[in-house]
Amino acid sequence: MGSAFAQLLADSGNEVCLVGTHLDREIIDNLLADGIHPGLKVKLPKKVRVYFIEDLERILDDRVRMIVFGVNSAGVHWAVERIGPILQAPVPILMLTKGLAIQRNTINILPSIVAEELGRYDLNAIPVGAVGGPCIAGELAARRDTSVVIAHSDVELLDRLLKFVDAPYYHVRGSTDLIGVEACAALKNFYTLAVGYAAGELKKNGAASNGALMHNLAAGLFTQALAEINCFVKFLGGRSATVFGLPGAGDLYVTCQAGRNGRMGKLLGSGLLYREAKSQHMPDDTIEGAELALCIGKTLKQLIENKKIDGNAIPLAASIVNAICDNQPLQIPWHQFYRH
C-alpha cells in the first residue's frame, strides 16, 4: 500500500521518496533494477525515488512536507524508533497502517499511540492523520477508481494533507473523525472473518437442492458487523456517520469481496478451528483481523465484564474472539443479533 500510495503522490505532482524497511530489501532491489514492484506488479513512475532504510537520515531533511507510514501494524513502533531521533520539526504524518492497540488497559487507535510515542523525542504535537475507505492496493496501483477518506482532527492540517493528493482516479474527501476512520479501518478486517463464514458454510453444505446459495446469511452478518463497528466507534469516541460512509460500510464491503480475512472466515465457516486453518492453509499470511482479535481479545473481555462496553451490543465480536483467541468453533449467535 505504501508503494501504491507513493505512485499516487507522484501522479499528484509531488516529489516522493519511497523508503523500504529492512524486510523490504528485495522489493527495493527490484525497484532500483527496473522500477517494477514485485508485489503490485506495476512499474512505479520515475518521480518515485527509492531508498534503503540506511538512507533515511539523509532523506529526512527540512524539505520534507509530509511523512507517510506504510508499514504494517506490527512495524509501527519500529518506524517511530527510526524516525523519532532524526526528525527535526513536527512534519505531519499520514498513516496507511490500520490498527487498534491496547494502551493502559483499554483500546486505543494507532495514530494516537504514534503521536504519543513521538512526543518522547521532544517532538510534541506531531500531527498524525490516517487514510480510510475501500482501497485494495493493487487496484490503486493500477490507477483504478478508488474512493477514500483522509482523516485528521485538525481542520487546517487536513486541508494541507488533502492538497498532496490530486489524481483523477483518486476520489478523496476529508474527515475530522480520526478515531472513527481508524477504528473502522481496523475493525473491518476483524468482522470480515465473520462475513466470510457464510462462504465457508456454503462450501460445507453446498447449494440447496433448488440451487439456493447463502447470500441472505452473508448479508445478515454484514449488517450485524456494521452495527457492531458502530458500537465500537461510539465507545472509542468516533462518529456514526464515519461507520456508514466510506471508512465503515465502504471498506467492509470491499474487504468482504476479496482478501485474506475473508479467506480465513471461509475456512472457519467450513468447520475448521482457527489454529488448524492458519497452519494448514495460510501459514505465511498475515490475517489482520485475527491479529487484531489476538491483540484486543483479552482486554475486550475485561471491558465487557466491567461493563465499560455493552456485551449485548457486540455478540459477534465475542464469537470472533472466542474463535481466534480460544480456538473455538466460530458460532453465529443469531438470537443476540439486531437488537441495536
Which residues does residue 192 pair with via DSSP β-bridges, in sequence order? none
Q: Contact with a copy of itself (CB under 8 A): which of 53, 136, 282, 294?
A: 136
Rg of the chain (C-alpha set):
20
Q: Contact 201/269 with Cβ under 8 angstroms?
A: yes
Shortest reach from residue 152's CB to a copy of itself, in Å: 16
Q: Contact with a copy of itself (CB under 8 A): which of 25, 41, 58, 275?
A: 41
Q: Contact with a copy of itself (CB under 8 A): which of 27, 217, 236, 324?
A: 217
Q: Which of residues 81-100 bind a copy of itself (CB under 8 A)?
A: none
Q: Which amino acid is at 240?
A: S
Sign, CA torsion 63/66/70/73: positive
Identity of the residue, 206 or 283, whose beta carbon is nearer to a copy of itself in the bound complex: 206
How many Å apart are CA 21 and CA 18, to the nearest integer? 10
How many Å apart are CA 32 and CA 25, to the nearest integer? 10
Identity of the residue, 108 or 230, whose beta carbon is nearer to a copy of itself in the bound complex: 230
Which residue in 271, 248, 306 sits closest to 107, CA to CA? 306
Q: Any contact of residue 258 with a copy of itself (CB under 8 A)?
A: yes
Strands 170-175 and 146-151: what pairing?
parallel
Through-space distance between the first and last CA atoms of the chain, rounded to whole angstroms: 35
Q: Any contact of residue 124 with a copy of itself (CB under 8 A)?
A: no
Q: Contact with a copy of itself (CB under 8 A): which of 110, 135, 179, 185?
A: 135
Q: Any contact of residue 74 with a copy of itself (CB under 8 A)?
A: no
The whole-angstrom distance between residue 297's C-alpha and the CA centroid of its chain comes to 17
Number of residues that bind a copy of itself (CB under 8 A): 54
Place of cell 531508498: 51
Query: Is 188 in the active site?
Result: yes
Identity of the residue, 114 or 320, whose beta carbon is nearer to a copy of itself in the bound complex: 320
Part in contact with a copy of itself (CB under 8 A); list of ranges 80-88, 90-98, 138-146, 305-313: 138-146
Shortest reach from residue 147's CB to a copy of itself, in Å: 3
Annotated catalytic residue within 188, 204, 266, 308:
188
| Residues forming the active site | 188
